Structure 1
């Protein structure tokens, strides 16, 4: 992210005095997970790529917690920086909670529509009511996410490492871990709330075609599927009666969205537990 300076791959054998002369296994693991996430494709926003990144964040938080248990880490952070890291951990938990709440609300709405459709003898109006309720719920979810995205702008400012802290390798790495976590959660929130993000990709694709005409066929195939977009479009068409949507086809879209939400829920819930544990470790450093 632009808010924090990304260091090149760190040579653990030549570091400032904030690290021991010999690299510790936990330090190496932390750096390995961090660099892997930093080098991942930030432009990819499919549900599978987000699930993969959430899993990677859990590994990062695991190694971060082990990193925080090192006596050298605790000695350095306890001097000055732990309070700043505690503030960042609380903000990450707030964003994570918003993502969890939005996923839960979305899954409940999907279940309601699927239940209405399964009642084959029900009047079409019942399905329409269920669809309208789903879209109303989506509106509430998008509003909550817009508020969270505004808060993220403030969080990014706090991720900037001050000039007095730039020589502190430990703090820089932990702040970079915060930055990567915020970036992934932000991508998740956009994925849930703005499935029409494909339009941005289309604009880039148009530019790419002008620059590299020979790749037109390939670029046209690089459209990322968004399960929220598919269901939103199908239900809006059903309500507006623009076309007759097969209940089986709609049920399939809803099933895929429900599976997508469940996968993302697992990732966010796991990440939330790791963030809570790391916050406890920071509080222990602060209190000792």
Structure 2
């Protein structure tokens, strides 16, 4: 245990992340040793002696201060984690918005090309059906691209989830 104390004292100067992690490991090992020490009969006898009452109370106060510091550290780390998650969310939204703008431009170009009507002169009824199917398909894609580019407002994201869950496109 004295080796652990010496090691911790000599490493107090360094404050790099790896040295702090090492110090935390050493502190953990130190406290595990203290747990074993407190269970020894000699230590129990010393803690129970009236002449050591003031020292024991000071040690207990120190332990409470350490617990307070642990709680403060835990809260601070939790706040830092929340902040990092918030930053990640902002970055994802920023990336998402940039991709939405790019997609919107692409969809607008596609929509322009869909607006161009192709005239089909067909006398055969079966070929007219192909022309009508093409027109209906173009109309569907027109609606889809308008929706995806944000030009039309359908019911929230339910349309997107329905489209994504369908197996056939």
Q: TM-score, normalised by structure 2?
A: 0.51
- Provide the secondary structure at the position in 2 that maps to 1:72: helix
Match for residue 84 of structure 2 among 102, 105, 110: 110
Match for residue 91 of structure 1 among 31, 41, 65: 65
Q: What's 1:56 paired with?
A: 26
- 1:32: how far off? 2.1
Which runs of 5 or more residues in structure 1 are unaligned?
1-29, 124-288
- 1:113: how far off? 0.8
**Superposed CA RMSD:** 1.4
Seen in structure 2, the aligned counterparts of structure 1 residues 94 and 65 have a Cα distance that, compared at 3 Å, is same
Structure (1 or 2) with the larger CA radius of gyration? 2
Q: What's 1:263 paired with?
A: none
Q: What's 2:134 paired with?
A: none
Give the distance between the partners of 2:20 and 2:97, measured in 1 at CA: 37
Give the distance between the partners of 1:48 and 1:91, measured in 2 at CA: 25
- 1:49: how far off? 1.3
Map 1:43-192 → 2, pairs under 5 A: 43-79=13-49, 80=52, 81-119=55-93, 120-122=95-97
Count of matched residue pairs: 93
- 1:112: how far off? 0.7
Matched, 1:38 2:9: yes
Residue by residue over 1:33-55, the C-alpha shift from the partner in whole angstroms, topping out at 9 and shown as x without a partner, is 11221222x22111221111111
- 1:109: how far off? 0.6
Give the distance between the partners of 1:50 and 1:56, measured in 2 at CA: 10
Which runs of 5 or more residues in structure 2 are unaligned?
99-169
Give the distance between the partners of 1:74 and 1:31, measured in 2 at CA: 20
Give the distance between the partners of 1:38 and 1:45, measured in 2 at CA: 13
Query: Contact 1:67–1:73 at 8 Å: present in 2 too?
Result: yes
- 1:122: how far off? 2.6
- Provide the secondary structure at the position in 2 that maps to 1:104: helix
Q: TM-score, normalised by structure 1?
A: 0.31
Give the distance between the partners of 1:56 and 1:32, measured in 2 at CA: 10
Query: Contact 1:37–1:56 at 8 Å: present in 2 too?
Result: yes
Greater relative contact order: 1 or 2 (C-alpha under 8 angstroms, separation 6 or more)? 1
